[in-house]
Amino acid sequence: MAIESINPATGELVRRFQALTAGELEQKISIADDAFRGYATVPIAHRSLCMRKLANLLEEDALELAKIITQEMGKPLHAALAEVAKCAAACRYYAENAIRILAPEIIVTDASRSYVRWDPLGVVLAVMPWNFPFWQVFRFLAPALMAGNVGLLKHAPNVPQCALAIEALVRRAGFPGGTFQSLLIETSQVEGVLGDPRIVAVTLTGSETAGRAVAAQAGWLIKKSVLELGGSDPFIVMSSANLDLAVQQAVLARCVNSGQSCIAAKRFIIEQPIYAEFEKRFVAGMAAMRVGDPTLETTDIGPIATARQLDTLKRQVNAALTAGARLLTGGKKIEGPGFYFEPTVIAEVPRTAPVYREEIFGPVAMLFRARDLAEAIAIANDTPFGLGASVWTRDPAEQQRFTAEIQAGSVFLNKMVASDPRLPFGGIKHSGYGRELSAAGMREFLNAKTVYVA
């Protein structure tokens, strides 16, 4: 079967790849298994040297790599360059901090010596999405390889060139052969890979449907899994907030990556006294976003990544309007070549409507008004997801209530939600489990081995 790279800005086929045969896939798994036995003994200092080289290569080839990202999934070129730079920063973070994170943890007991050592597990399968085709991979790749694990990447089928480019970068950085390989395979082949006894764990970033399937199989096989799934992040603005800054950041938070981000703000919950003013300014800001050619510096919003995702987005907006929501701007697919959708704002989506509980992946915002802090928290938590939340208030008491009561993996006060290599990243509820990034993310695929010396 073929795996196709289609330019979402034009709808044209860029390249076609043949999926790996069963024999070719078996060979790659065997290579990874063999590589782990040697790589687990490589000194951390040498791994660090390779990781720093990888960071340098990312920076040296940034424009070329960004162009691949833009061509395959439509991210505006300036945003693709920022994504590559963030990957380099993650590589440097783990190159500089792995020794500290992996150091034995001394625990005082009645033993003459007792401690926890952190050992790599083996070959880890990474099932990754298309929306941040480099960053999603590197936030797994950097900690996994620095810890001594080996990675196999099953990337989204619409970004095969990104997958191959990442593998080539790792190889050029000097990591031993087989340490990291990309598997150009169909989704139907993932079950067989995960079922292979040489695969010890799996990490998946993607949809709820994909997460349920992988988690169910991993649970049956008793293999460690980490899931980072969807989000319907609230962006809460209280009367005490800096309204000018909140509106500006709200527009950016909804339109980051053309709205195709799990941690993009999607539900805007505004306290009653400032609702009307926020709505007016926010709608104007969304309508002013420039949609177009992602290779141009002036473009704010590029195309939706796939024709299928564009159809889903259109269906969700229509469903909201049919349920009684009010359309404030946008709402339509932009005709012409490519997969473009207007920046859209809808208000008063009934909380009983099915679309209210879905993740909307595109430049579409839903507005809600809250009478007070208690209702703002109630609306924010009234979702199956729990990834991140952005809260805008200058009141210390309100800040304390929000950080304590919001049900999410992270709460950002007076700032839009973002990932950072230094901080744990992940969610609760249907947004998944486990953590990526920081020491917590690195230790997800390590054996916390207790050593007791009598």
What is the pLDDT, as a whole number, of residue 366?
A: 98
Per-residue pLDDT reduced to its tens digit, 182-204: 999 999 999 999 999 999 999 99
Do 266 and 195 reside in the same domain of the chain?
Answer: no
Number of domains in the chain: 2
Do 145 and 214 reside in the same domain of the chain?
Answer: yes
Residue 130 in this model has a pLDDT that exceeds 90: yes
What is the pLDDT, as a whole number, of residue 336?
A: 86
Residue 228 annotated among the catalytic residues of the structure: yes
What is the pLDDT, as a whole number, of residue 160?
A: 98
Show contacts of 319-325: CB within 8 Å, 24+ apart.
319/353, 319/354, 319/355, 320/346, 320/349, 320/353, 320/355, 320/356, 320/366, 321/346, 323/349, 323/350, 323/352, 323/353, 323/355, 324/348, 324/349, 324/350, 324/353, 325/349, 325/350, 325/353, 325/366
Residue 332 in this model has a pLDDT that exceeds 80: yes
Residue 7 in this model has a pLDDT that exceeds 90: yes
What is the pLDDT, as a whole number, of residue 2?
A: 85
Per-residue pLDDT reduced to its tens digit, 46-70: 999 999 999 999 999 999 999 999 9
Q: Tell me which of 50, 91, 255, 262 is the catalytic residue.
A: 262
pTM value? Answer: 0.97
Q: Tell me which of 228, 271, 398, 444 is the catalytic residue.
A: 228
Is residue 313 assigned to a domain? Answer: yes
Determine the structural domain holding residue 60 and report its residue range.
2-229+431-453
Q: How far apart are CA 404 and CA 408, in angstroms?
A: 10
Do 376 and 439 reside in the same domain of the chain?
Answer: no
Please state the rounded mean pLDDT for residues 14-28: 97
List the structure tokens of 34.
Answer: 């063999």
List the structure tokens of 53.
Answer: 């080289």
**Which domain CATH number covers 214?**
3.40.605.10
Per-residue pLDDT reduced to its tens digit, 248-305: 999 999 999 999 999 999 999 999 999 999 999 999 999 999 999 999 999 999 999 9
What is the pLDDT, as a whole number, of residue 135?
A: 98
- Per the CB < 8 A criterion, the answer to whether 160 and 17 are in contact is yes
Q: How far apart are CA 194 and CA 217, in angstroms?
A: 8
Residue 1 in this model has a pLDDT that exceeds 80: no
Is residue 214 assigned to a domain? Answer: yes
Per-residue pLDDT reduced to its tens digit, 379-404: 999 999 999 999 999 999 999 999 99
What is the pLDDT, as a whole number, of residue 338?
A: 97
- Per the CB < 8 A criterion, the answer to whether 300 and 348 are in contact is no
Residue 186 annotated among the catalytic residues of the structure: no
For 288, residues 6+ apart whose C-beta sits below 8 A from its C-beta are: none
Q: Which residue(s) pair with 115 in the sheet?
A: 106, 451
